[in-house]
Chain A
Amino acid sequence: DTGVSQDPRHKITKRGQNVTFRCDPISEHNRLYWYRQTLGQGPEFLTYFQNEAQLEKSRLLSDRFSAERPKGSFSTLEIQRTEQGDSAMYLCASSLWGGQGDTGELFFGEGSRLTVL
């Protein structure tokens, strides 16, 4: 399977704990995005990387959230001191930016569902 993969698919944690999600994008894609989706809503932008550089972060992303893409390949999204309001589906997407292959299409993973008790 050469699509975007996310791990874990579901995480249940207690309030105050830290959680980390991993995303493995499509190998040739240079852009990687994190989105958050709550029930009945569309995906909401959190941050994106071009190669290893984090180019933009949403103002909604509090200091408890941090994302990395250390070698321009996989990415991690860490949430510290989780709160019940963090419960959501965290979606990762990748795309190819620049060149003739750049169509703007986002390829999403199946998401990591976080439940904070």
Chain B
Amino acid sequence: QQQVKQSPQSLIVQKGGISIINCAYENTAFDYFPWYQQFPGKGPALLIAIRPDVSEKKEGRFTISFNKSAKQFSLHIMDSQPGDSATYFCAASRYNFNKFYFGSGTKLNVKP
């Protein structure tokens, strides 16, 4: 049973456009929702994270929107750049960070 469902599987965006990736979860015990960015041949790296006590968190061009009642959260990349081309994973964990459940990933291609 997949704990975190992610969509779309792939995304093509023009340079300067907005990239939006969505995730949904079932377990209401989840307390921490990070997004990881992975480049080919590299391990995932934390991009931005949110806890359910806020509905939005912004860091530079990256914003997480969180809807607790719908059990959904999304990543928005504003002014997308070719350097943002990577695979993005949403994840969820309980407060003790003992186990992270990752989505299946979204491969983003930002065209110049």
**Which A residues fall within an 8 A CB radius of B?**
4, 31, 33, 35, 40-45, 48, 55-56, 91, 93, 95, 97, 102-106, 108-111
Contacts and interface: CB of A to CB of B under 8 A. Distances in A.
Contacts of A95: 97
Given A42-B103, A45-B101, A91 B43 contact: yes
A102 B102 CA distance: 20
Nearest to A92: B43
Contacts of B62: none
Contacts of A108: 43-45
Interface in B9-44: 9, 32, 34, 36, 41-44
Contact of A105 (B46, B98, B102): B46
27 contacts: A35-B102, A40-B105, A41-B105, A42-B6, A42-B89, A42-B102, A42-B105, A43-B89, A43-B100, A45-B99, A45-B100, A48-B99, A55-B98, A56-B98, A91-B44, A95-B97, A102-B97, A103-B49, A104-B93, A104-B97, A105-B34, A106-B34, A106-B36, A106-B46, A106-B100, A108-B43, A108-B45
A36 to B, nearest CB: 11
A103 B95 CA distance: 10
Interface residues of B, number: 25
A105 B93 CA distance: 11
Given A55-B98, A104-B93, A104-B97, 19 more contacts: A4-B43, A31-B97, A35-B102, A42-B91, A43-B89, A43-B100, A45-B100, A48-B98, A91-B43, A97-B97, A102-B97, A103-B49, A104-B32, A106-B36, A106-B44, A110-B41, A110-B42, A110-B43, A111-B43
A43 B44 contact: yes
A45 B44 CA distance: 14
